[in-house]
Amino acid sequence: MANDREVLREIWDGKLPVCFQLDQEEIMEIQQPDPFYVMVPRLSYFPLVIDKMKRHFLRFISQENADNEMWLDYNGQPLKWHYPIGFLYDLYCGSDPQTPWILTVHFSKFPENILLHCPNKDIVEAHYMSTVKEADVLKHRGQVMSTMQKKDHNQLWLGLQNDKFDQFWAINRRLMESHGESEGFKNIPIRIYSEDGTYIQRLINPKNSDGSRKVVQQLISELYPENPVKLRTHGINIPLDTPLQWLSEHMSYPDNFLHVCIC
């Protein structure tokens, strides 16, 4: 059970300084807009934190684009809104930290073949909840989510949206409990991303066949027997002797998945 509040809180409070700049092509005014600086929670999603920024840039762009869906890129790489912000940063800037993280804002030329559309926050919520459900299927055969009430689901989402640790964890701790005698999840919801953004997702048991706790080192040698890699999440390298069960309980993103980058 996730009970290490100190780690949980530290992860929850993780923030990134981001500098949004409007794409030069979008600027229709003579006056250059100021960049928009903001501290964003690593655990959140871009559509949840960019309302103010959008208002800031709207008056500089062509009115015909004003109703278009806004999208972001980093170094020409469109950012997928359905990934947590912290993970996107780890993916693109993990090995080469950039403060602040400079992102470009676009209102036109939506890269249809790369990005999903996100007309409103309900879509984010729907995507988020489905990921949590998927994780619960892996962890508990979906039994925890199905016993929760609608208001619990709602509280989970509101906790994330409003950046309320207690509100979120009041519900999430139920998802992070292990059931039955096994004292561990059935499988660890983990996605391991290569630098190009593709990921592998396997059924990973938190225990070795002899019943001992599986640690990161053992996972790596299972998945990458040839070249030992290092894994990175939440801006830090994961120590190799960290047990996977603990890692999943404490360092999963709010969607209950471990999003880990190879570096």
Partner 1 sequence: MSNNSLLFSINNEGKVYALSTNGSCWREFMYLGLEFKTLSAVPHFLWAVGGDRQIYLHVHGLEIPIRVKEESYENERWLPLEGFSSRLLPTDRYHFSSQDGTKDRSIDGIRLPSMAWQWEGDWQLELTLDGQPLDHDGWCYAVDFPAQFGPTKQWKSCVRRRKWIRYRKFSAMNSWCAIAPLHKDPTQEPFIDVSIGGNQIPYAAPGTLSVWAITAQGRVMYRSNVSATSPEGLKWINVSIPPNCDIKQISVGPTGLVWALLWSGRAIVRKGVTKDCPTGEAWLEVKSPEETKLTVVSVGYNVVWAVSSDTRVWFRKGVDGNACGSSELAAMGSGWLNINGNMMHISVGINDQVFAIGGSNKSIYWRNGITPKELSGKRWRMVQANMQVSRTSSAASIVSSASNQKHLSLNLLNETVPELKSNINLRNSWEESHSAPIENTLPLKPSKELKQKTSANIENIDLTGKSYETTLKNPRAWSPVRSVGSVVGMEAQPDSDSSVFDIDSGMFFDEEVSQTAWGTCDTAWSFVEAGACSVDSVQPPHWFSDSQNSHNTDITAKWRLQILDELKLRSNYNIDLTKFGIAIEEKGWTRSCEARLVNTNNICEECIVSLYWHSSENTGTLSVFQSDGTIKFIFNLGEVTSVTTSSEPGSPRISLTIPTQSSQVLKIQFISEMEQEEWLNVLVDITTQIHGLSGRPSISSVWAVTNTGDVLNWDPAPAQLTAEKDAGCYTKEIQVFGKDIQKGYTTTLHNNFPPGSILNVTGCLNDDINRFHINLQGPEIQKQRHRIENEVTEIPFHFNMRFDEGVVVCNTKISGLWGSEERYQLPISPGQEFSIKFLCDTVGFTVTVNDKHFCTFKHRLSPENITSAHVLGSLKLFSMEYSSTSVIIGPDEMFWKMIGGYLRKVETCANTVIWGISHDHRAWVYTGGWGGGSLKGLGSNDGIHAMLDTQTYCVYENQRWNPLSGYTSTGLPTDRYMWSDITGKHKRTREHTKLLNRHWHWISEWMIDYSTPGGVDSDGWQYATDFPAPYHGKKIFTDCVRRRRWYRKAQIHTEGPWIRAGSTALLDFSLWSNDKEVSVWAVTLGGDVIYKTGVTAMTPAGTHWEHVNSPQPLVSISICNNIIWVVGRKGELYYREEVTKENPGGSNWKLIEAPKSNISSGYKSGVGAKLVSLTSNSAWILLTNGSLAVRTDISRLQPGGKHWKYLTDCDTTYKHVSCKDQEVWVVRSDGSLHRRLGLTTDNVLGVAWQPILNIPLVYVSVRGAS
**Residue ranges in contact with partner 1 by CB under 8 A:** 1, 3-7, 10-11, 14-15, 17, 37-41, 44, 48-49, 52, 99-100, 158, 161-164, 166-167, 169-170, 173, 181, 183, 211-213, 234-243, 246, 251
Rg (CA), the chain: 19
Q: Closest distance between partner 1 and the C-beta of residue 192, in Å?
A: 18
Question: What does the alpha-carbon distance between residue 256 and residue 184 come to, in Å, rounded to a whole number?
Answer: 15
Whichever of 108 and 158 has its CB closer to partner 1, that residue is 158
Question: What does the alpha-carbon distance between residue 144 and residue 256 come to, in Å, rounded to a whole number?
Answer: 12
3-state secondary structure of 117: coil
Q: Closest distance between partner 1 and the C-beta of residue 63, in Å?
A: 26
Q: Closest distance between partner 1 and the C-beta of residue 17, in Å?
A: 5
* Angle between the N-to-C axes of helices 150-161 and 121-140, in degrees from 0 to 180, rounded to the nearest 10: 120
Residue 228 in tokens: 């030992």
Whichever of 132 and 247 has its CB closer to partner 1, that residue is 247
Whichever of 108 and 246 has its CB closer to partner 1, that residue is 246
Q: Residues 21, 25, 26, 31: is their CA dihedral positive or negative?
A: positive
Q: Closest distance between partner 1 and the C-beta of residue 1, in Å?
A: 8
Q: Closest distance between partner 1 and the C-beta of residue 113, in Å?
A: 29
3-state secondary structure of 199: strand
Whichever of 158 and 229 has its CB closer to partner 1, that residue is 158
Q: Are 189 and 134 in contact (CB under 8 A)?
A: yes
Whichever of 108 and 165 has its CB closer to partner 1, that residue is 165
